[in-house]
Amino acid sequence: MKTLAAELARRRAQHLYRERLVLDSPPGAEVRVGAEKLLSFCSNDYLGLANDPRVIAAMRVGAERYGVGAGASHLVSGHSRAHHALEEELADFVGAERALLFSTGYMANLGVVSALTGRHDVIFEDRLNHASLIDAARLTRAKVSRYPHADTNQLAKLLVLARKPGMITTDAVFSMDGDLAPLAELRALAAQHGTRLLADDAHGFGVLGKNGRGSFEHLHLPLTPPVILMATLGKALGVFGAFVAGEAALIETLIQRARTYIYTTALPPAVAVAARASLLIVRTEGWRRERLQTLVEKFRTGAQSLGFALTASTTPIQPLMLGESERALEISRRLRERGILIPAIRPPTVPEGSARLRITFSAAHEAAHVDRLLDALSTVRI
């Protein structure tokens, strides 16, 4: 048996060792790590709401009204008026019949996939799906069929061959690449083969679409069966938690069968109160999305004129592909010396040989911050 220490040493030698930063400030354009002040381009707080005074005030009011913990699972006595109201508002916002809150997006994906598929089904997954979708399929013991990234022709062939297509699962916006899934084609294939499409819009919800309803609004697609939407409250909304939206019978089925919904303590109701305040801001402050888009365009123009090869992503996720982990780590380190925080993303989060800097933007950034980033990038010699 290999010792844990030997295994850890091997990871370090391969440049795959992971270490945590300890933040001494709230998330934001600038963060503090001990005595270091860093300009951050790595959070998912796309709209800059994680530290918004109105959302903080809502959380405080929620804690005073409901206490700090839910005290029980949703099905026992943990489902508060705050949770219920948030579910209704989320369903209304995305245009689905109903929505169901989960404690995290990871748990929501596990819950949906395991409630709706069994060992005789085939689950079709995009190769670049988020770890939570991959783990969800593993949990069901279903047969898993992975198709090349966004390749709907290949998926169509696999669907024809499958005896019992159970579900297609995909990131709607790919978390490490920022590109959109071909949702119209996926939706059509799912309908044609009598299977569900679970779309994980963790990175589109609040960010994409004229009203921030996400990837489906952006692509002018209805949120009706066979689509099941999952989105999180911890990214653009800046809070915590997740929800699944779809038709009423789907939501009732999840309440009966999703084990990651049933066997866990409900989110603190104060978190639901904060998420409601945040959702209201998403609905009313469209300028945040416009500003975000302006910053992304400014970055892309600047980076291209400096000669960097960007991907086709037009979302706030702008990866700079660097290849080997060692190189990504080195460039991340040099940027940090220049006051810029962008941790290197390495395997197994991304495929072998595709280590990268995953640069993300937020409405909390200003144009001058993007200039500082471009300036730093031009001096680290990528």
Ligand X SMILES: *Cc1c(COP(=O)(O)O)cnc(C)c1O
Rounded to whole angstroms, how far apart are CA atoms 276 and 283?
11
Tokens of 379: 């001096």
343 binds ligand X (CB under 6 A): no
Rounded to whole angstroms, how far apart are CA atoms 277 and 288?
15
238 binds ligand X (CB under 6 A): no
**Which are the contacts of 170, defined by CB distance < 8 A and separation ≥ 6?**
125, 126, 129, 133, 181, 183, 186, 197, 198, 199, 200
- In this chain, which stretch among 13-21, 24-32, 197-205, 281-289 interacts with ligand X, using CB under 6 A? 197-205
Which residue among the candidates 74, 130, 235, 365 is catalytic per the annotation?
A: 235
* 116 vs 202 by CB, closer to ligand X: 202
193 has catalytic annotation: no
Rounded to whole angstroms, how far apart are CA atoms 138 and 100?
23
Tokens of 245: 């939206």
* 130 vs 365 by CB, closer to ligand X: 130
203 has catalytic annotation: yes
Distances (CA, A) of 190 to 46, 173, 347: 30, 18, 30
362 binds ligand X (CB under 6 A): no
Backbone angles phi, psi at 323, to 5 degrees: 90, -95
**Which are the contacts of 17, defined by CB distance < 8 A and separation ≥ 6?**
8, 11
What binding mask, one character per residue, do residues 174-193 give for ligand X by CB under 6 A, x or -?
-x------------------
3-state secondary structure of 147: strand
What binding mask, one character per residue, do residues 106-125 give for ligand X by CB under 6 A, x or -?
x-------------------
Rounded to whole angstroms, how far apart are CA atoms 74 and 88?
15
Closest CA to 235 of 270, 268, 275: 275
* 251 vs 317 by CB, closer to ligand X: 317
What binding mask, one character per residue, do residues 258-297 give for ligand X by CB under 6 A, x or -?
----------------------------------------
210 has catalytic annotation: no
Which residue among the candidates 175, 278, 325, 362 is catalytic per the annotation?
A: 175
Q: Which of 99, 242, 331, 357 touches ligand X by CB under 6 A?
A: 242
| H-type alpha helices, 75-164 | 81-94, 105-116, 131-140, 152-161
369 binds ligand X (CB under 6 A): no
Which residue among the candidates 79, 83, 130, 203 is catalytic per the annotation?
A: 203
126 binds ligand X (CB under 6 A): no
170 binds ligand X (CB under 6 A): no
What binding mask, one character per residue, do residues 53-92 give for ligand X by CB under 6 A, x or -?
----------------------------------------
Rounded to whole angstroms, how far apart are CA atoms 62 and 270?
4
Q: Which of 80, 114, 132, 362 touches ligand X by CB under 6 A?
A: 132
| Residues identified as active-site | 175, 203, 235
Kindly list the residues in this chain that would bind ligand X in the complex (CB under 6 A): 104-106, 130, 132, 171, 175, 200, 202-203, 232, 234, 242
